[in-house]
């Protein structure tokens, strides 16, 4: 950021120091491995409970202060398994810096889970946590109490990328009295840009689908498959639609669908951008998500999105204008949204592509988001040259 000295800390930074830092680096990695192993034994995978050892941190505020010295502002992204609430409190006291948390999911607001589903325990005390198996439910209560003890004593600002996150954080026990700022994740509109939309219409209509694995329940692939099975009963659509699928272990999962399928596996950013440009539309089936980022990326590439009313899609997809929204977890509603998308005329489709690009540039282009962040910093008492 112009006029500022910016520092980024991740555990990998420790590898740049002497042998003591290397020992600390491997200790942090070992702790993460132990937690990952325990998660398989004592947690419900759907809740992504990453904070089993919330009270244990190996990276101290003193070490960070020695490394970076005077700090005016600290923005925390992913802290699970790296630093905890006590370290954040100490950093605030020691540096006097304004601290912001920019969560990529619901992780900071509860007792350890990163996706809460229908649970509202984060509003009170996290008793009977569905993310933990019975003998271990006390961990969530203990974690929430511990976080509240330290974070309630300092001024923490929140940078939140969706209106769903805004609602949840303002209702949470920990953050209900802290300031919330709406700051969507920015996308580079010069890198993510459209190609020829007419080509996408006149060739076979490719529905782009993406998830690390279709077996991840929160990504909604089972409901999407049900919707596609309903859609393929329309014989005319079967001839004109192609599924382009990004991710691992997808070939077996989608094998019984009649549509022509193209499996890309895991791909790099360049190929991802090309996939957006070449597709007819992007389909997001997420049913529990703070994103997904692919919604932002597809729209800024000028491609409409069909999605459930979840996460960032709820904010960015204007139903009937930049894509179509379906009722959450409803396969029939998703089938209907897909049919509307596929039955657009050439003019309707091109107008939707145009609006998808322009609306997203207006809200989510990286330079506009950076400008919003600067304003938040100024209003939060941070001096920016």
Task: Give the pLDDT confidence of 344-379 residue by residue, as tens digits.
Answer: 999 999 999 999 999 999 888 898 898 888 888 877
For residue 6, is it within any domain? no
Backbone angles phi, psi at 355, to 5 degrees: -65, -35
Q: What is the CA radius of gyration of the chain?
A: 22
Q: Which two tokens stand for residue 140?
A: 């969530």
Q: How many domains does the chain have?
A: 2
Q: Are residues 20 and 159 in the same domain?
A: yes
Query: Do the domain assignments include residue 315?
Result: yes
What pLDDT, on a 0 to 100 scale, did the predictor assign at position 4? 66
pLDDT at residue number 190: 92
Looking at the structure, tell me whether residues 67 and 137 fall in a common domain: yes
Does residue 360 sit within a domain? yes
Point out the residues of the chain with pLDDT beneath 70.
1-4, 196-203, 235, 380-385
Kindly state whether residue 299 falls inside one of the protein's structural domains: yes
Asked whether residue 155 falls in the same domain as residue 234, the answer is no
Give the per-residue pLDDT at 202: 59
Same domain, 107 and 49: yes
In a domain, 338, yes or no: yes
Q: Are residues 110 and 181 both part of a single domain?
A: yes
- Domain holding 48, by residue range, is 11-185+367-379
The answer to whether residue 384 sits within a structural domain is no
Decide if 220 is inside a domain.
Answer: yes
Crossing angle of helices 331-342 and 221-231, rounded to 10°: 60
101 and 90 co-located in one domain: yes
pLDDT at 201: 58
pLDDT for residue 2: 55
Whether residue 166 sits in one domain with residue 79: yes
**Is the same domain home to 252 and 139?**
no
Tell me the pTM. 0.90
Q: What pLDDT, on the 0 to 100 scale, is given for residue 385?
A: 37
Q: Are residues 51 and 173 in the same domain?
A: yes
Q: Pick from 358, 196, 213, 181: which is nearest to 285 by CA? A: 213
1 inside domain: no
pLDDT of residue 362: 86
Output the pLDDT for position 128.
93
Q: pLDDT by residue (tens digit) across 199-234?
A: 655 568 999 999 888 889 999 999 999 999 999 987
């Amino acid at each position: 950021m112009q006029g500022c000295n910016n520092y980024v800390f991740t555990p990998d930074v420790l590898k740049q120091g002497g042998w003591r830092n290397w020992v600390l680096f491997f200790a942090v990695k070992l702790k993460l491995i132990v937690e990952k192993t325990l998660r398989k034994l004592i947690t419900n995978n759907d809740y992504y409970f990453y904070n089993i050892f919330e009270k244990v941190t190996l990276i101290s505020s003193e070490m960070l202060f020695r490394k970076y010295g005077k700090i005016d502002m600290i923005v925390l992204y992913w802290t699970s398994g790296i630093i905890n609430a006590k370290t954040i409190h100490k950093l605030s006291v020691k540096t006097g810096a304004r601290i912001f948390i920019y969560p990529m999911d619901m992780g900071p607001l509860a007792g350890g889970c990163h996706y809460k589903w229908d649970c509202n325990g984060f509003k009170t005390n996290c008793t009977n946590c569905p993310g933990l198996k019975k003998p271990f439910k006390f961990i969530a209560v203990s974690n929430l109490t511990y976080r509240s003890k330290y974070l309630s004593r300092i001024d923490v600002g929140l940078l939140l990328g969706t209106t769903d996150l805004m609602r949840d954080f303002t209702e949470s026990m920990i953050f209900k009295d802290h300031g919330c700022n709406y700051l969507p994740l920015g996308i580079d509109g010069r890198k993510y840009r459209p190609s020829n939309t007419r080509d996408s219409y006149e060739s076979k209509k490719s529905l782009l689908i993406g998830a690390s694995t279709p077996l991840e329940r929160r990504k909604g692939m089972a409901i999407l498959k049900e919707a596609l099975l309903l859609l393929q009963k329309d014989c005319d659509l079967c001839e004109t639609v192609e599924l382009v699928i990004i991710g691992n272990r997808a070939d077996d999962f989608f094998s019984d669908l009649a549509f022509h399928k193209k499996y890309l596996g895991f791909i790099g950013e360049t190929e991802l951008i090309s996939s957006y440009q070449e597709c007819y539309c992007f389909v997001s089936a997420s049913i529990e998500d703070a994103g997904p980022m692919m919604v932002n990326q597809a729209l800024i590439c000028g491609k409409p999105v069909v999605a459930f009313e979840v996460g960032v899609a709820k904010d960015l997809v204007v139903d009937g204008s930049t894509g179509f929204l379906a009722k959450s977890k409803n396969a029939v509603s998703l089938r209907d949204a897909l049919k509307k998308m596929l039955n657009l005329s050439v003019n309707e489709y091109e107008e939707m592509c145009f609006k998808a690009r322009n609306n997203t540039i207006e809200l989510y282009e990286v330079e506009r988001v950076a400008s919003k962040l600067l304003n938040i910093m100024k209003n939060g008492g941070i001096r920016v040259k």
